[in-house]
Amino acid sequence: MPALQPLPGHLVGGNFLLTETNPSLVFTPEDITAEQRLMAQTAEKFMDKQVLLRLEALEHQEAGVMPGLFQKAGELGLLGMEVPADYGGLGLGKTSLLGVEEQFTRLGGFGVTCGAHCGIGTHPLLYFGTEEQKRKYLGKLATGEWMGAYALSEAGSGSDALGMRTKAVLSPDGRHYILNGTKMWISNSAWAELFILFAKVNGQHVTAFLVERGFPGVSTGKEEHKLGIKSSSTRRVILEDAQVPVENLLGGVGKGAYIAFNILNAGRFKLGAGAVGAAKESLKGAARYALERQQFGRPLASFGLIQHKLGEMAVQIFAAESAVYRTAAMMEAVFETGETLDSTSPPFPRGLDEFALECSVIKIACSEILDGVTDEALQIHGGYGYTEEFPAARASRDSRINRIFEGTNEINRLFIPGLLLRRAQRGRLPLVEAMTQVSKELLSLPPLEEAASGDELAPARALVSNAKRLVLFLSGLAYQKFGDKLVDEQEVAASLSDIIIGIYLAESALLRTAKSRARGRTARVQGDLALAYVNDAVGQWELESRNVLAALSEGDDLRMQLGLVRRLLRWTPLNGVTLRRGIARRLCEVGSYGALFAAA
């Protein structure tokens, strides 16, 4: 691989663990432009006036309803935002997508349909296709004339995607590849006209193909009876001596894994961004119900435990949203460099790879936060929440798939420390040096900084800095014991990942708040949300650290190391009850998460 050009520190994937980021460099929801806001408003109006009014028809998959609405979204330009204008799209960056993604996922199945099409159903062609392939297909995908799908998984190879059995052999006349096999759980399969499909050439070389629905030998199975996302289509794609023209091979023989895994980085990010939108929708419904529902002569929203739930939902969404917007802008900035990571065919943008770690963080955190939000929203609705009379039941069912999509959360948790080690070994991240330096510094580590006058964020930011030192220390110990087999110690790797995830979200929330205050905004509610997140995260970091150390050490070494954990994570608890009650009261006053920050 050619030497990579140096990037600013905040644009190096994983480098947030080794350095501190200036708040001015972080993109936040408060930074979106008027044009980006208008795109989100267009999507919101489309959802309100057309999609959600056809809710029952969509959920029962009435013929023609989803394809018709999908095409209308394309006519509005909402499906081709990342596709260059030369190919019929709008040519916009990652930050412009966020508001639209959030709107689509207000109905889980609709969000899956559009998200799978715009992301993993289009990105392989966009980033790895030849000029001829792009000219032939991208315009149809960008405008919604055709729907795209991504066909990787099989019955025996879900997480182990490279264990696929679908086979491709070149026809005797050399004009076609003949494909045989079955792909499972393929989103959009009832309606898609183009499948990004993976098979092993001669049973050995994982390769991507552009497979049209109308090619001979291509068919789909019956609709799966799913727990949720019922308005989306999920079927098998069946290949029986399917004839795929040789010009529809994507990226070269044996390049399929290379394509699949890089595309999944972007897919994980898009999934996380959509989960934030779905969580906001659930919180809005829960707050409305809590205000309207009377118990014991009082609104539910007046009770402490309901206020805790509403406040906690907002806290989690704030941290997730802050991380998503931060990551979107970093990805966009690296894409704009135009740098590629491989000089051989096909080269692909560095922006697809650079933030693979952050994309996994986003995927895990946002999918689990959405699950928590929808569960609490259902609980606030009580018995009504368990019926289909209110949307809480559907939202809870729809959310569950996100922890499985785009690589299970377990696979992504193992990916994070593994990627850090690989980046270190390839010289892309000075991780080993940082771990060594932290180990030397620990014995002379200064205590947490006291808050500067009027700066209540200072102790929290100092705590996050110490949490970074802690996870580097733990990672160093784990690597010393297990070496390259660290990822095989799955429980230890997962605990390290959970600390890293919490650090990234906590830091993103604090940086967002600090940036707002530096611009002269009061940011009172932002401060409460960020501090409430950190206040709880420290306990989780300590628990995971204890789990890691107990698996690595014993006796006096363990006791000494546990003392270092307590020292690094020394934190005076904040009054979480007061913080969440205040957040909940404001939420009920303004009616939605998005309105929390208006003049606040």
* 9-32 tens-digit pLDDT: 999 999 999 999 999 999 999 999
Give the predicted TM-score (pTM) of the model.
0.96
CATH of the domain at 532: 1.20.140.10
pLDDT at residue 450, rounded to an integer: 53
Give the whole-angstrom CA distance, residue 68 versus residue 57: 12
Residue 505 near residue 290 (C-beta atoms within 8 A): no
**Among 64-73, 391-400, 513-522, 543-552, the least confident range:** 513-522
Task: Please indicate, yes or no, if residue 424 is contained in any of the structural domains.
Answer: no
* Enclosing H/E stretch for 434: helix 431-441
Number of domains in the chain: 4
Token pair 């939000």 is found at 373
- Are residue 294 and residue 401 in the same domain, yes or no? yes
Residues 442 and 547 in one domain: yes
Amino acid 454: pLDDT: 66
Parent domain of 398:
256-411
Cα–Cα distances in angstroms (integers) from residue 29 to residues 192, 379, 385, 388, 582, in the given order: 33, 29, 31, 33, 22
Question: Would you state the pLDDT for residue 444?
Answer: 64
Is the pLDDT assigned to residue 241 strictly greater than 60?
A: yes
Q: What is the pLDDT of residue 13?
A: 96
Say if residue 388 is in the same domain as residue 499: no
Q: Please indicate, yes or no, whether residues 231 and 337 belong to a single structural domain of this protein.
A: no
Flag whether pLDDT at 297 surpasses 80. Answer: yes
What values do phi and psi take at 313, rounded to 5?
Answer: -60, -45
Task: Say whether both 378 and 489 belong to one domain.
Answer: no
What percent of the chain stands above pLDDT 70? 96
Is there a single domain that holds both residue 497 and residue 370?
A: no
Mean model confidence pLDDT for the chain: 94
Q: Which amino acid is at 244?
A: V
**What is residue 508's predicted lDDT score, i.e. its pLDDT?**
98
Kindly state the DSSP code that residue 429 receives in the 8-state scheme. S
The predicted pLDDT at position 449 comes to 53
Average of per-residue pLDDT across 387-404 = 97
Active-site residue 321, yes or no? Answer: no
* Domain presence at residue 224: yes
Q: Does residue 74 have a pLDDT over 70? A: yes
Q: pLDDT category, 443, cuts 50, 70, 90?
A: low
The domain boundary, picked from 147, 177, 212, lies at: 147
Indicate if 276 and 239 belong to the same structural domain: no
| Residue 56: pLDDT over 70 | yes
Is the pLDDT score of 166 beyond 90?
Answer: yes
Q: Which amino acid is at 42?
A: T
Question: Please, what's the largest Cα pairwise distance for the chain?
Answer: 80
Local confidence band at 574 (pLDDT 50, 70, 90 cut-offs): very high
Identify which of 26, 9, 128 has the alpha carbon closest to the alpha carbon of residue 428: 9
| Helix, strand, coil content of the chain in percent (nearest 5) | 60, 10, 30
Given 204, 226, 250, the domain boundary residue is: 250
The pLDDT of residue 447 is 55
Q: Point out the catalytic residue in the list 101, 376, 406, 542.
A: 406
pLDDT of residue 599: 55
243 inside domain: yes
Beta-strand relationship, 249-250 and 205-212: antiparallel
What are φ and ψ of residue 520, in 5° steps?
90, 5
Which of 108-122, 330-344, 560-574 shows the lowest per-residue confidence on average (mean pLDDT)? 330-344
Token pair of 260, please? 């699949």
Residue 45's CB is within 10 A of a number of other CB atoms, namely 12
Q: What is the total residue count of the chain?
A: 600
The answer to whether residue 600 sits within a structural domain is no
Residues 267 and 385 in one domain: yes
Q: What is the pLDDT of residues 129-155, one digit of tens each?
A: 999 999 999 999 999 999 999 999 999
Q: Are residues 456 and 472 in the same domain?
A: yes
- Between 1-5, 27-31, 284-288, 402-406, the lowest mean confidence (pLDDT) is in 1-5
Question: Tens digits of per-residue pLDDT, 36-45?
Answer: 999 999 999 9
**Phi and psi (nearest 5°) for 183?**
-100, 140
Q: Is residue 310 part of a domain?
A: yes
| Residue with the larger pLDDT of the pair 370 and 348 | 370
Identify whether 555 is part of a domain: yes
Per-residue pLDDT at 97 exceeds 80: yes
Give 550's strand partners. Answer: none
Q: Give the pLDDT score at 448.
A: 55
In this predicted structure, what is the pLDDT of residue 520? 81
